[in-house]
Structure 1
């Protein structure tokens, strides 16, 4: 359980985060302790049900099964396998010291995500006639993609910067494309206006379907690579 005091909070808020795997409490700058105790007592059954429904952790360990492109893949670790991970059918072969397996697997997934997402993003940006300075991947828990508008006077070439969660590489390719289309639409419309949604649907007619897929399965992607 994590309790955080927020300057702008006007009351106490209780949340069970399936993405982070923790109970989160937001408090105003002062006071609220009695309300927290009452909320936890009143919502005990609800909190237990929420925690029980959270996804299970999938560590980067021998024989673990993780999704890639929406399909299950088994980690086949053997010390004499090549150290660079290699996807062969539904098996990810990884070698070298066992202690380095988690780091190697995550770096490989991040590189695969960038290699997939960057060219797709640049193609859409070019088709829309919008400058794009940089595409990157990170591990944000609150959003699957973000678009920062172009600014002059920065180190990057003039153009917008788009960042994605590397965990999208575990989702089906059409779900990834939906996020790419969403961020590409933000190159034209830095809001969620009707014009933005119209362009987004034009770029990807399956945008709504992808949102529903992520709402149902997205939290589980954040548990891949965790020990517990």
Structure 2
């Protein structure tokens, strides 16, 4: 996979991806983070894909203009943690401290320190929620892992492994709880049938609000970059 740019102001990063199964050049813009990916057949020159992107430049830029602006996290940034907007403030000591209206961080690389802290906090919150819901259905899961996934907020494997996006810690706590209930429900029903949604309702209650929040606001959680 190689990285290129569409010239202009500003230049647009492009990712070229070769695929033996591709029959023609295709263009995709991620709804989550605005990444522009060109997929092209194995033998097609990269120049052809870049020319294709140039032909679509107006469409690409119009689409990106509607996408949430990227936020580089650092002192002064307003960052949501558990749905609460908090300002990143430089502190004298190393480490991260969460306050009602601030994220206080010290050290030479505040963005990375905050990212590590948020991942640890996400693991604690998601493990507690998963344990709570698993106990309610009388099932156990194999292990819990965190990733920075672009296509889903969580998953449950047939072996009972739970995977979550660590960025859920940026969402309101009820949204994180809903995703945990959703994935734990898959320990009982490995599908999205009426029986599955009945388990979700048993665990969480009415999930309409958090599901709508993820549809309308979820993509914005990927706008925050940590260096």
The secondary structure found in structure 2 opposite 1:220 is helix
Segments of structure 1 that go 5 or more residues without pairing to the other structure are 151-159
Contact between 2:182 and 2:200, CA under 8 Å: does it hold in 1? yes
Correspondence 1:116-155 to 2 at 5 A = 116-150=125-159
Structure 1 residue 200 and structure 2 residue 205: aligned?
Answer: no
Structure 1 residue 167 and structure 2 residue 167: aligned?
Answer: yes
The secondary structure found in structure 2 opposite 1:4 is strand
After alignment, is 59-68 or 34-43 more displaced? 34-43
**Greater strand percent: which structure?**
2
- Match of 2:94? 83
Structure 1 residue 56 and structure 2 residue 69: aligned?
Answer: yes
| C-alpha spacing 1:40/1:122, structure 2 compared with 1 (3 Å) | same
- Match of 1:210? 210
Deviation at 1:115, TM superposition (A): 1.0
Q: d(CA) in 2 for partners of 1:39 and 1:195?
A: 46
- Match of 2:179? 179
After alignment, is 131-140 or 180-189 more displaced? 131-140
The secondary structure found in structure 2 opposite 1:200 is helix
Q: d(CA) in 1 for partners of 2:51 and 2:143?
A: 48
Q: d(CA) in 2 for partners of 1:226 and 1:49?
A: 26
Q: d(CA) in 1 for partners of 2:220 and 2:25?
A: 27
Contact between 1:75 and 1:91, CA under 8 Å: does it hold in 2? yes
Deviations 1:137-156 (A, max 9, x none): 22122211111222xxxxxx
- Match of 1:102? 111
Deviations 1:133-189 (A, max 9, x none): 222322122211111222xxxxxxxxx221211110000111111111110111112
Segments of structure 2 that go 5 or more residues without pairing to the other structure are 1-13
Contact between 2:136 and 2:203, CA under 8 Å: does it hold in 1? no
Q: d(CA) in 1 for partners of 2:22 and 2:72?
A: 36
Deviation at 1:37, TM superposition (A): 6.6
RMSD value, Cα? 2.4
Contact between 1:6 and 1:27, CA under 8 Å: does it hold in 2? yes
Contact between 1:86 and 1:92, CA under 8 Å: does it hold in 2? yes
After alignment, is 31-40 or 192-201 more displaced? 31-40
* Partner of residue 104 from structure 2, selected from 93, 100, 118: 93
Deviation at 1:38, TM superposition (A): 7.7
Deviation at 1:42, TM superposition (A): 5.7
Using the size of structure 1 for normalisation, the TM-score is 0.82
The secondary structure found in structure 2 opposite 1:222 is helix
After alignment, is 56-65 or 174-183 more displaced? 56-65
Q: d(CA) in 2 for partners of 1:4 and 1:212?
A: 32
Using the size of structure 2 for normalisation, the TM-score is 0.82
